Amino acid sequence: MAWDTEATRHKLLAAATEEFAAHGYAGARVDRIAANAGVNKQRIYSYFGDKDGLFEAVLGDGLAELFETIPLDGEGPDAVADHAAAMFDFFGERPGLARLLCWEGLERAGSPAAAALRARGCGGKIEAMCRVLPGASRQDAADLVLSVTTLVVGWHGLSQLDVLMAGDLPRTHALRRASVAVAARGMAEAVARG
């Protein structure tokens, strides 16, 4: 078999994503990541430097996917509501990603690297939001993007918490999806009104 460094890298990233999503940064174990990837531990250090570098690579991938995948077009508060619902579905298909972002918000909120990543990733979204809500200032648009994101991420990342008590999951999911859209529309209307 040929050397495929890209594949090795990818296996590590996949295993790391799972590990970080499950246990967070502090709880994640480098040895476990290497073992689950079926790759030697040294590869982590030669590819990503250290545990921190690995986390940032994982987070960067996740943020990029998040901000590049879901379109934000159309016009008016309804478009914002649609976007929020689409984002809700997006996270529904990637259970680990929401948790990863929750961890990051809790554990590494102050990290300048994360802030840079976020700012870069958000840029396009904010401009799209300005086009969708022409009356809103850039500040308002940025705020709205982050509000909607936080809402969706927080809800998905923490939702397993009540799997314990909620019996009818699909129905709950639909309810929440609708309420996210309602909340997003409400915020968009408030912003549009000034």
Partner DNA sequence: TTAATCTCCAACTGTTTGGTTGCTTTTGCG
Partner DNA sequence: CGCAAAAGCAACCAAACAGTTGGAGATTAA
User: Which residues of the chain form contacts with its own copies (CB under 8 A)?
Assistant: 23-24, 26-27, 99, 102-107, 109, 115, 118-119, 122, 139, 142-143, 146-147, 150-151, 153-155, 157-162, 164-168, 172, 175-176, 178-180, 182-184, 186-187, 190-191
For residue 194, count CB atoms less than 10 angstroms from its CB and return exposed for 0-12, middle for 13-18, buried for 19 or more.
exposed
Q: Distance between CA 18 and CA 40 in Å, rounded?
A: 17
Residue with tokens 């914002």: 80
Q: Which does 139 bind (CB under 5 to 8 A by kind): its own copies, DNA, none?
A: its own copies
DSSP 76: S
Nearer to DNA, 42 or 194 (CB): 42
Nearer to its own copies, 39 or 151 (CB): 151
The token pair that represents 137 in the structure block: 């200032």
Residues 2-41, one symbol each (x = binds DNA by CB under 7 A, - = not), give xxxx--x-------------------xxxx------xxxx
Q: Who contacts 23 (Cβ-Cβ below 8 Å, separation ≥6)?
A: 29
